[in-house]
Amino acid sequence: MNPIQKQALRAAGMIRRRLAERREEPTPIQLPEDHWSEMQRFIRQIQQAQRHRWHRAARRLTDDLLYQIDYCRSRLSDLLALLRQKSESPALPALKDLYQEILALQEEYDEFDVDPKTGEIRVTTEPIVLQDLRLGQFAIRLHWKSSGGTSPYNIVALEPHPAASDSSVTHPHVQSERLCEGDGRAAIRTALDQGRLGDFFQIVTQILSTYAEGSAYVELDQWYGESCSDCGGLVDEDERYYCNRCENLLCGECSTSCEHCGDGYCSGCISSCQTCQEPHCSACLEACAKCCRATCPHCLQDGLCERCYEQQQQDDRKDAPADPGGQSPAQRDAEAEFPAIDQGTRTAATAPKSLVAV
């Protein structure tokens, strides 16, 4: 018996004992409360996006909500099936059958390892390519000592090519080394419960080799996209903008140009002139010397906003001394606005009545 066969036999014995222990354990009944809370959070975010008319973000959040609803439904279906099948527990697999299952993995996978000390069986998939996106090889690591737990195995990317928006997503259906099992969840649990190790690894490999559009952590057509810092929508590489101040990534709809300098900014770094209400960056706005209102260069005159400038002009005219002819600035302004038709009319209007009668 070679070393691999010895390790396989030892592992088979440990797995059989673990399966026997599980028969005596109480049935785990766990409701998807965490996903229920996540759905409530998405609903609040959708309502907020709709109030601000962030239509793109609302659509994305709605897709996330639908995914969570579908996942909760799947979890509840699995729990229902588990409770129904608990009374029909299959017989424990024979030690010989488990031993043959483990040795068969060596023939099916080029890279295979069994470690009784750590309680782990590892296989490596072929390079995964989904719609021309090369994701590389993945290691499927089954921890048989945790068999029956919520996550008795993990998926490790050996040549990580994660999504641009989330480095923890190394496959459309893998996040933080955990596989979104989808419709394969019940089949995976049944295979593990019955000690059908070959079926377990085959099901997981098949899921990794398949792309289910609409149920991925990150869709393939958005793999290279990053999240807009304002609306949260994914932005492709050729459609990205960056805030000129904080350098946050923005989509074209959320990037706002300063009316004076023309640079683009995010919503947190752009302001409005308090006179014309046009968007301006903080570098292009100045405080009015009198009222301190933020004012753009177009609306600023002699360091004053339009309102303060007009008030200053009125005050200057009132305080200015009369000219040698006895006219105040206000009178001069009135005369400039309503000039006399001719000199004779002006003389007649100002001459004594007695002289006019003559």
Give the burial string for 79-113 (b: 16+ CB within 10 Å, else e).
Answer: beebeeeeeeeeebbeeeebbebbbebbeebeebb
Q: Does the pTM of the predicted model rise above 0.75?
A: no
DSSP-derived secondary structure for 231-278? T--EE-GGG-EE-TTT--EE-TTT-EE-TTT--EE-TTTEEE-TTT--
Q: Under the phi-then-psi rule, with left for phi > 0, alpha for psi from -120 to 50, and beta for the rest, what region is 247?
A: left
Q: Is 307 exposed, middle or buried (CB count within 10 Å of its CB: 0-12, 13-18, 19+)? A: middle
Whole-angstrom Cα distance, residue 214 to residue 203?
20
Q: What is the pLDDT along the chain (358 residues), one digit of tens a residue?
A: 788 888 889 888 888 888 888 777 666 677 888 888 889 999 999 998 898 888 888 888 898 899 889 888 888 887 887 777 666 666 788 999 999 999 999 889 989 999 888 889 999 999 999 998 999 999 999 998 775 555 789 999 999 999 987 899 999 999 999 999 988 888 998 888 888 999 999 999 999 999 988 889 988 888 887 778 888 777 776 777 889 888 888 888 888 999 989 899 998 888 899 889 999 998 899 999 989 989 999 898 888 988 898 888 888 887 766 555 555 555 565 555 555 545 444 444 445 544 444 3
